Structure 1
Amino acid sequence: MEKCSVICCRECKTHVALTNDVFSLSLEGPLGAYVNPHGHVHETLTVYKSQNINLMGRPTKEHSWFPGYAWTIAYCRRCTNHMGWKFTATTKNLTPQKFFGLTRGSVTPGMQQADELMDGDTWMPIISSADCFYYLYAFIPLDFMKTDTMSTMQWKKQWIVAIGIVVTVFLIYLFVSVGSSNNKFTTEWPQETEKEHNQQYRFWPSFKVDTQHNEKWLKSTCLKSEDDLSLDGIMEIQKKWSKSQDSECRRVYTMFTSIFTITSHPARVVIPDSFAVKVRKWLGNKEELFQSVKKQTVMFIYNEYTREQNVYNPLREKRPMGVPPRPETEYVEELVQKTQPSCDFCKYKLNTAEDTFGRVESEHSFTAANTFKLDSWHTLILLKKHHPLNWTYVEYRDLMSTAQKWLDKAYQQNSRYKYPMFVWDLLPHAGASQVHPHVHGFLDADRYQGAVENWRVGADEYNEDFSTQNYFSDFVSVHMSLGLAVQYGDAVAIASILPKKDNEVIVLGQRPSEDFFKLQYFVYRAFIEDMKKLCFSSGFALPSLDEAAGKGKIPAYVRAITRGAVEEIRSDISSLELFTSQNANTDPYKVIKFIKESIKKRS
């Protein structure tokens, strides 16, 4: 059994408590007695932040221990042991907005037993209200009240029982009073729905790129090691990092472990002799890989705020890849020759629709309204060149300039529509309906669509937990520290440790600047020319066009992934990605090397 020197699940020793307690009575939180409406006493430890805990059901205010707070059952993600409850404020004026109450019996190191209460010590109410039917009593030793320190916290059963009886009698009295005083007191309070909550964003600190905390800093200051970093060894990196006493190391480590939870599980396989020949062939007859198949390790990387998860098996990435029957560029050239004569986009003035304000057109690009729309403002931004691969930075920058002009025109038509997004699939295997390169542009009124809004909600929840921090800034800082980010001017590219699909690179900038677009171009050309990944999919999100709307303001960012071989019949997206978890088995440390080389080569 693992040794646990911090607050962990009693059953499996998984680390569950992350931060100091809510009420600041001790390092481990106040050992308190929560008395519910039925007079039952719950002995708990309160903490602001936890990890490795799942929630069951939606928050409810029914029989809540605290007016203004809804509760949700919490259990250990690893062994499903009931850990206690999460309490979430239902109004914005309550502090704290959320905290966890972990039961005494669910955690280790164990809390002081109830029958160890020293004579002369006392209980004091630390949460109460004139309209409140629920109270939290914490045990306060006399030494603490005299010295302002709490060195020990001890319990006594008769005190708990006595408190329970007193509170129960008081509850009965209050309920009777409520029924006979024309609703002088009420147990009803505003319950904010998830929809209302998601529409009330905070003002976040500005997005900034921190280059001080980089891979060199992490190795020399935090890890005290010059060993190469790899995704295979990320858990060992985390273990070494956690032992650092340097304040900056601790601060960035808190970012890392607050955003990401990384776990691994053994996966054993028994291979009969009759099957071994075929497996060896799959692995290029490499004996080391064959032996690794029998004892595999599967890693789960989970983002606590965006709720994304990637399942990573390093053995899958090490498998020898099959050679296509012919060069992929040869197949693309064949597609170009076959599709160009009948391409509607090549005859766009005759065979494409226009937006109500007309087209936006420039030297290398133009817009065409999508005939079958997915939104009120939904257009296509296209290169005039038919070939999907042979475009320069000048042509790409012109394409992006046309996209920005279209956004401005649509926003001028109706300023309610202010949330801009773009998506781009290159070549049919990536989902493109036409070989001719085209980008879909959207402008939404109420919020960003789908995955973009999920990131925005996650970023707001992060700011709720860390009010002086910007999620996107800290997200970049973590990757920069791990050696998975590279800065270019006022933009930054990261190779994600939790990719949407293979080889994901995320480009971020405070605004859509020249550096931002150049860095995108470097990423795309790295995919096509350096990595020989001709199919890709990418999604763009830009800050709100309403400059006065400062709440929930995201930076400009692009997510780009590769999509497999262009001639491959088999899809690279399956029910696994659609309905369960992401599965990308590419090493981000290899990806970031390609991006760095692309910048050197093309800048």
Structure 2
Amino acid sequence: MPFTMTLPEHSPVWYEQQCFSTHTPLLLENLYAYLSKTQMFSIKACRQLEDKFNSIFRVDEIYGALKLSPVYLKKVKQWLNNDEQLIAQIRNQKILKVYNRYTHEEMIYNSIRGKRPQSTSELSPENYTMKLMKDTMKTCDFCEKNYLSSTAEDSFGRLESKLSYTAANTFKYDRWHTLIVSRNHDTLHLTQDELEDMFELSKKWFKKAHDLEREYMYPEMIWDAMPKAGASQIHTHIQVSLGKDSYYGVIERTRQGAKQYSKDHSHRNYFSDYLQTPLKDLEVMIMGEKLNKHFYRAIHLLFRAFIDDMNEYSFSFGMHLPPMNEAFVSNMPVLCRTVFRNPVTNLRSDMNGLDLYTSSVVGKDRYVLFRKLKSSIENRL
């Protein structure tokens, strides 16, 4: 079944009121209760929403209790600012588990985890970022004309445009692997034109490599900003690669899950149904039929919302395009996933063994994030 950008027939507010019977802002911790309510309604649109959601996800709600000694309770109260409601919650914690039946990804949400004590820095995230940008420009390999002598070229040469250029990755992870480098050092303050230029140059590079070796046809992009996200260079650059037999593991797992979904649910597309379900992953996801001006606009708005309005300065970004073999194009969307990392000055990592070897454990409400993004983006339209 081809992927199409078909949005739900009603507005989010309509679904909240008619299907979830709530006139207050949605909270992720109440997701299990919301889904239970939809089962009691005879409204066709509500049943369809529930069916699509349950076809992809399984939701479990469990509780974990604990005992606090009087001495330790004093410390916990300090962490929670003596909020009696939070103290009651920590004694008997609601844990929500959302499992994807087809990709086998899982998100575990416990609102109280967002209240954990954080390490602090004398330097604010904004000042730290500005200083890092300024200091790294002095000896940057990618700035001005430095790249001509400080970076490698692909076997077919270097591609250049007005606002960006390619530089073959010196330490490759695939046969066709290069960097798309913006001529703007500051990765956090790119214009929409600068973003668009990088992605358009990426498409030209994909075509060039594919034309040379037709069996390489699975395009992917990775973009890490700032050391917190693992970036080895501060200067704006995207890593792009073209796979031969399949996408890389995580994306290929999603692709195979989508194939199985279409087999289990005839005349339905996994990505189309995923787009219509009211839950987002740990990351913010952008999905579209083509990588075009509308998609670039969405990415730019997302960055401005997080960086300018939420003061988040580090992110990891992943994108895949449909296979370059025309036979596969219609079933796959352009899919971009972006997660903004913990405050750049926070000494604690935002990735741990739980995330690496079990499931993604989050402490921030996705619905609250959605409302912030919606407000920020609408103010810019």
- TM-score class, shorter-chain normalisation, is over 0.9
Deviation at 1:220, TM superposition (A): 4.1
Partner of 1:299: 96
Give the alignment partner of residue 77 of structure 2, picking from 271, 280, 292: 280
Tell which structure's C-alpha radius of gyration is larger.
1
What are the equivalent positions in structure 2 for 1:124-523 lying under 5 Å apart? 204-318=1-115, 324-346=121-143, 347-479=146-278, 496=280, 498-499=281-282, 504-523=283-302
Matched, 1:592 2:370: yes
Other structure's SS at 1:219 match: helix
Aligned residues of 2:120 and 2:345 also touching (Cα < 8 A): no
Q: 1:432 to 1:524 in 2, by over 3 A?
A: same
**Amino acid paired to 2:237:** H
Deviation at 1:256, TM superposition (A): 0.8
**Which whole-Å CA distance do the structure 1 matches of 2:327 and 2:103 have between them?**
26
**Which whole-Å CA distance do the structure 2 matches of 1:600 and 1:248 have between them?**
26
Deviation digits for residues 181-203 of structure 1 (CA, Å, limit 9, x no counterpart) = xxxxxxxxxxxxxxxxxxxxxxx
**Which whole-Å CA distance do the structure 2 matches of 1:396 and 1:598 have between them?**
19
Matched, 1:564 2:361: no
**Amino acid paired to 1:570:** R
**Structure with the greater relative contact order (CA < 8 A, sep ≥ 6): 1 or 2?**
2
Deviation digits for residues 424-464 of structure 1 (CA, Å, limit 9, x no counterpart) = 11000111011112110011111111111111111111111
**Which whole-Å CA distance do the structure 1 matches of 2:328 and 2:59 have between them?**
35
**Which whole-Å CA distance do the structure 1 matches of 2:187 and 2:329 have between them?**
38
**Amino acid paired to 1:392:** T
**Amino acid paired to 2:106:** Q
**Which whole-Å CA distance do the structure 1 matches of 2:19 and 2:379 have between them?**
32
Q: Which consecutive residues of structure 2, in runs of 5 or more, have no partner in the other structure?
A: none
Aligned residues of 2:187 and 2:234 also touching (Cα < 8 A): yes
**Which whole-Å CA distance do the structure 1 matches of 2:288 and 2:121 have between them?**
37
Other structure's SS at 2:302 match: helix
Partner of 2:328: 549
Aligned residues of 2:318 and 2:337 also touching (Cα < 8 A): yes
Deviation digits for residues 389-428 of structure 1 (CA, Å, limit 9, x no counterpart) = 2221111111111111111111111111111100111000
What are the equivalent positions in structure 2 for 1:70-149 lying under 5 Å apart? none
TM-score by length of 1: 0.61
Which range moved further: 316-325 or 417-426?
316-325
TM-score by length of 2: 0.95
Partner of 1:535: 314
**Which whole-Å CA distance do the structure 2 matches of 1:549 and 1:300 have between them?**
33
What are the equivalent positions in structure 2 for 1:48-63 lying under 5 Å apart? none
**Which whole-Å CA distance do the structure 2 matches of 1:387 and 1:238 have between them?**
44
**Which whole-Å CA distance do the structure 1 matches of 2:154 and 2:316 have between them?**
25
Q: Percent identity?
A: 36
**Which whole-Å CA distance do the structure 1 matches of 2:4 and 2:87 have between them?**
46
**Which whole-Å CA distance do the structure 1 matches of 2:110 and 2:266 have between them?**
35
Aligned residues of 2:123 and 2:345 also touching (Cα < 8 A): no
Other structure's SS at 1:345 match: coil
**Which whole-Å CA distance do the structure 2 matches of 1:367 and 1:355 have between them?**
8
Aligned residues of 1:293 and 1:315 also touching (Cα < 8 A): yes
Which range moved further: 427-436 or 218-227?
218-227
Other structure's SS at 2:360 match: coil
**Amino acid paired to 2:285:** I
After TM superposition, which residue ranges in structure 1, 4 or more long, deviate above 4 angstroms?
318-324
Deviation digits for residues 99-155 of structure 1 (CA, Å, limit 9, x no counterpart) = xxxxxxxxxxxxxxxxxxxxxxxxxxxxxxxxxxxxxxxxxxxxxxxxxxxxxxxxx
Deviation at 1:306, TM superposition (A): 0.7
**Which whole-Å CA distance do the structure 2 matches of 1:561 and 1:335 have between them?**
21
Aligned residues of 2:126 and 2:311 also touching (Cα < 8 A): no
Deviation at 1:219, TM superposition (A): 3.2
**Amino acid paired to 1:548:** A
Partner of 1:185: none
**Which whole-Å CA distance do the structure 1 matches of 2:5 and 2:190 have between them?**
31
**Which whole-Å CA distance do the structure 2 matches of 1:315 and 1:212 have between them?**
35
**Which whole-Å CA distance do the structure 1 matches of 2:289 and 2:270 have between them?**
13
Between Structure 1 and Structure 2, which shows a larger proportion of helix residues? 2
Deviation digits for residues 336-355 of structure 1 (CA, Å, limit 9, x no counterpart) = 23222222122111100001
Other structure's SS at 1:583 match: strand
Deviation at 1:261, TM superposition (A): 0.7
Deviation at 1:211, TM superposition (A): 3.4
Aligned residues of 2:20 and 2:34 also touching (Cα < 8 A): yes
Deviation at 1:570, TM superposition (A): 2.0
Q: Which consecutive residues of structure 1, in runs of 5 or more, have no partner in the other structure?
A: 1-203, 485-495
**Amino acid paired to 2:362:** A
RMSD: 1.7
Q: 1:519 to 1:447 in 2, by over 3 A?
A: same
Other structure's SS at 1:567 match: coil
**Which whole-Å CA distance do the structure 2 matches of 1:589 and 1:366 have between them?**
38
**Which whole-Å CA distance do the structure 1 matches of 2:378 and 2:51 have between them?**
33
What are the equivalent positions in structure 2 for 1:17-56 lying under 5 Å apart? none
Other structure's SS at 1:367 match: strand
Aligned residues of 1:284 and 1:320 also touching (Cα < 8 A): no
Aligned residues of 1:519 and 1:599 also touching (Cα < 8 A): no
Q: 1:282 to 1:254 in 2, by over 3 A?
A: same
**Which whole-Å CA distance do the structure 1 matches of 2:131 and 2:20 have between them?**
52
Deviation at 1:365, TM superposition (A): 0.9
Aligned residues of 1:528 and 1:534 also touching (Cα < 8 A): yes
